[in-house]
Amino acid sequence: MKKTALVLLLCFFSSASYVMAQTSNPEKYKYNFVVAKDGSGDYKYIQDAINAMRVFPLAPITLYIKNGTYNEKVELQAINTDVTFIGESVDKTIMSFNDYSGRGKMGTFDSYTVKISGNRFKAENITFENAAGRVGQAVALFVDADKAVFKNCKFLGNQDTIYNGGEYARQFFTDCYIEGTTDFIFGPATAVFKNCVIHCKSNSYITAPNTPKDKDFGFVFLDCKVTLADEVTKMHLGRPWRAWGKSVFINCELPNRIAAEGWDNWGNPENEKTAYFAEYENKGEGFKPKQRAPWTHQLTKSEAAKYTLKNILGNNSQSTEKEWYDL
């Protein structure tokens, strides 16, 4: 046998052995982890548990997080797919850090407390906090994963609390509490917020969508309740970070200090031709459809009927499968 052919054959068997090692014997890998600050779990730090996980796992991985305030900057990389975080209780399981834009060479997108990039991520019963205070942009959650779900979670911060990243990512927040000051829900992802409390802490803007032109949906709020701090006198529902930004509020409760015009063009009248901001059957003293900015929309019944989870977030290929956004 010629030397070149022998080398190629050896490379083939070596590669085959590597693939077999990566895909066989799933039982030898660990799929359940416990983090506890008191040392009663597998790890004391969340990042240590993530670092111990098998990348691209052969089965879903669950990380149970016991009560405590975990003061650490956490990243779940794109190679860490199919991971679920479950906290012991939402008010006592807290992931907190205090980075912010302008701290050294740090920018907005480095300021996160938690960054989630692994697809098919789920979280339940956890508080995500940026504790930097009112110092400018300071992200609590940076999520650019596709098919990411957050249930019964809290997001605490000020400006830029949640960055919904990933131009073609889909994300679902249900039964959550989100607070902030300016543009505190922002980014290009398609994200649905259902049965959430949105708490505003200053005269500013709730959403700053950065929706790509070819996407039908940006941020969609279904059956949510908007609340305002006592010092807030005028709050806008959103403004377009990029020209084609989209935000829609459907059947949401709006307090009386929501700005009558509802929306803002971010100082650029040209955005009024491209941004899509809409409402349907909202309620409360802050819902004043006849006074809304004339370039925004009040949906018809048939238009509103398109805003279903299936249409916005997609569905599994087989109708018998559980939808990815169901925890």
Catalytic center residues: 160, 183
Rounded Cα distance between 235 and 203, Å, is 5
Q: 208, 204, 280, 220: which is closest to 244 by C-alpha?
A: 208
Record the tokens describing residue 111, joined without a space: 């300021």
Record the tokens describing residue 161, joined without a space: 């609390």
> Is 65 within 8 Å of 129 (Cβ atoms)?
no
Q: 259, 256, 246: which is closest to 299 by C-alpha?
A: 246
Q: 124, 174, 134: which is closest to 156 by C-alpha?
A: 134
**In Å, how far from its chain's centre is CA 236?**
21
Region for residue 75 given its phi and psi (left: phi exceeds 0; alpha: psi -120 to 50; beta: otherwise): beta
Class of residue 33 by CB neighbours under 10 A (exposed 0-12, middle 13-18, buried 19+): buried
Instruction: Name, in order, each residue with C-beta under 8 angstroms of 186's C-beta and a sequence gap of 6 or more.
Output: 160, 162, 163, 164, 207, 208, 209, 210, 241
| Residue 13 one-letter amino acid | F
